[in-house]
Amino acid sequence: SDIDGGNVTEVFDGSGMNGIAVDIHLTDDHLYWTEHAGSSSQGGVWRADRDGSNAELFVENNGTFTAPHFLAVSETHNRIYFTCFSSGIIQADLDDGDNVSVLWNEFPATFTGITLRGDNELVWLTTAADAIYRTQLPSGDTPEEDVFINVPGAGETYGATYHAGEDALYFTNFGAGTLHRFDFAAGEATLLREGLVSPLGVKLSPSDTHLLIAERGRGVTAYQIDNYGYELLADASGAHFGVAVSADPEPLDDGTPPPPPPEEGDAVFFADFENDTVGDVPLDVSQGGVWTTVSEEPAEGSVMVMLDEDNVFGFGADNQFLRYESMRDYDLDATFEGLDVLTVNFDVITRFPEGDDGRWLNVRVRGGGTDAHILSLRNNSQRIRGDSDIGDPRYADPDVPVRLSLIVNNATDTITYDGPDGDSHELASTFAAVWVYEYLTREWIHIIPEYQRNSDAAAGTLMDLVRFQIDSDPPLRSFDFDNISVIKGAVIPEPAEFEFPHDLPDVRIHTAIEIEFDTVEGAYYQVESSEDLEEWTPVAPPVAGDGGIMSTLVSTREDSPQAFRVRTSEPD
């Protein structure tokens, strides 16, 4: 299309392709694009004239790779390089597409975004780690000491492009819908923009003034580097992965600068379910992050935003909360900027039929594409995944709201934090702790001081997702939860203001007497009372003697005096 998005024209209709086109690259003479053909032996790199004519499968699959993704072209080395999701980085001759070989595939996996940094370095990313990798050309050396790890925003990255004048890498995060900049000299990443629609490929305009971004299901957008300007250029709902650009867009109006990075104790996001909903589940999460849902059996049960008309949560009748009803398999995810230490907080009410032993709620965080299972709640017990010695300490009574706070430490060192009990606590690397606040008693309980959470995410890997997951057979009746937050660091916030939802009963104390008597085995005994010693009335059911001592408590709240006796029968 034109740089302003006009005159959209199809230049190649896909004839001869067995998969889908992913990344596209533009040179003086040609267009190159990768063909993703799944896990088959087909797919490769295509080449055509700039107008789409003379299209041909340029780099054919010789069995070396599967699932081509993004590509880079080096005229200095006369090579074309492309990532294959599970096969590594592949290279071929730029002249004729021959000499196909693996440049690098030793670590990690799920290879995605790739770009040239100068003449002799490939920079690439992966969905498997919060890292930026650098491979030297032409050798293919990728020293582990040259890898930048713990890069906020990396981890579900597909698009990447290098700005030589700034010595900076721009990249997108598909799951979080964000755009980031990494400064190689400082070794720091900056969040530039949130709210993108599944961003994938990204390229610099010729004068390095703009970034062009392929947003899946939306089209191609422009981001002006010097003033944060942003707008949709090409409206193309069918667009998916890649973009190439040969002109600078017109200057854009000033945009919104990126939010400052969170500080210790800041909420990365907070959700109270008072906002608008889409498909009966919250979509937007304040302070960053987006709820996304994955349901294995959507016909089983329902997810609803409910109005607390009976004030069972204790936050007022106008309070809204989320309810899962009769669910078997369901995930509710929220993404956020990557953190090495975080605290997940939420209010919850358990609801379950007696005898239901299904697992009803898991809480997970994700780091480097790997889930860390940090909490399992089973009915009226609580279990920590990965530590069988914990047992089942109490976390809540049915139908009574509590607040759960889960501290997760994925930093490389032990941390020290101030607990809500006023004491200092230590938490080792890759361990987690659980606190519960009982609203009725206004007390914090340190349920689990420290346990090894179940995860393959190595220490130092940034965590960027929290998941509330149903995994139960038979389906669970329901549970309600609200006021979900992720806090940077090991910081537990004050619980929400709570009022007991029902009137407290008046407590009164009255007198009683205890009548005690010896028994004979086989005989029956009946305690009776009388106000006139003539009319006698039973005050308790008859009981069979066992040869020991028995007793009966009788209220003395009556105004008039009473007499008591014990009648007995002979043994059979």
Summarize pLDDT for 54-111 with one digit per residue, the tens.
999 999 988 888 889 999 999 999 999 999 988 899 999 999 999 999 999 887 678 8
Burial of 564 (0-12, 13-18, 19+ CB in 10 A): middle
SS3 11: coil
Q: What is the mean pLDDT of residues 209-234?
A: 95
**Average of per-residue pLDDT across 175-190:** 92
Which neighbouring-strand residues pair with 470?
A: 330
Residue 92 · residue 77 · CB < 8 Å: no
Terminal C-alpha separation, the chain:
105
Evaluate whether 523 touches 375 at the Cβ level (below 8 Å): no
**Mean pLDDT, all residues of the chain:** 85
Supply the Cα-derived Rg of the chain in whole angstroms. 33
Dist CA 481 CA 306 (whole Å): 10
User: Average pLDDT in the 396-407 region?
Assistant: 79
Q: Please give the Cα distance from 208 to 167 (Å, whole number).
A: 12
Please name which of 453, 290, 475 lies closest in space to residue 383, comparing C-alpha atoms.
453
Higher pLDDT, 489 or 335: 489
- Comparing C-alpha atoms, which of 555, 554, 545, 556 is closest to residue 517? 545
Please state, as a whole number, how many other Cβ atoms lie within 10 Å of the Cβ of residue 229. 17
The pLDDT, as a whole number, for residue 228 is 96
Q: Are 183 and 168 in contact (CB under 8 A)?
A: yes
For residue 398, what are its two tokens? Answer: 């049915």
b/e map of 41-79 (b: 16 or more CB within 10 Å)?
ebbbbbbbeeeeeebebbbebeebbbbbbbbbbbeebeb
Which among 375, 380, 327 has a CA at the least distance from the CA of 349?
A: 380
Tokens of 512: 């009683």
Q: What are the pLDDT digits (tens) for 415-451? A: 999 999 999 999 999 899 989 898 888 889 888 888 7
Q: Which two tokens stand for residue 81?
A: 């390089």
Rounded Cα–Cα distance for residues 292 and 125 (Å): 23
| Sheet strand arrangement including 56-60 | 20-26, 30-36, 44-49, 56-60
pLDDT, tens digit (0-9, with 9 covering 90-100), for 247-294: 999 999 999 998 888 899 998 888 888 765 544 555 555 545 556 555
* Distance, CA of 253 to CA of 285 (rounded, Å): 26
Helices (H), 147-302: none
Mind listing the pLDDT tens digit for each residue in 523-539? 999 999 999 999 999 98
The 8-class DSSP code of residue 52 comes to S
Rounded distance between C-alpha atoms, residue 308 and residue 296, angstroms: 28
Tens of pLDDT, residue by residue over 113-136, are 999 999 999 999 988 788 999 999
Strand, coil or helix: 92:
strand
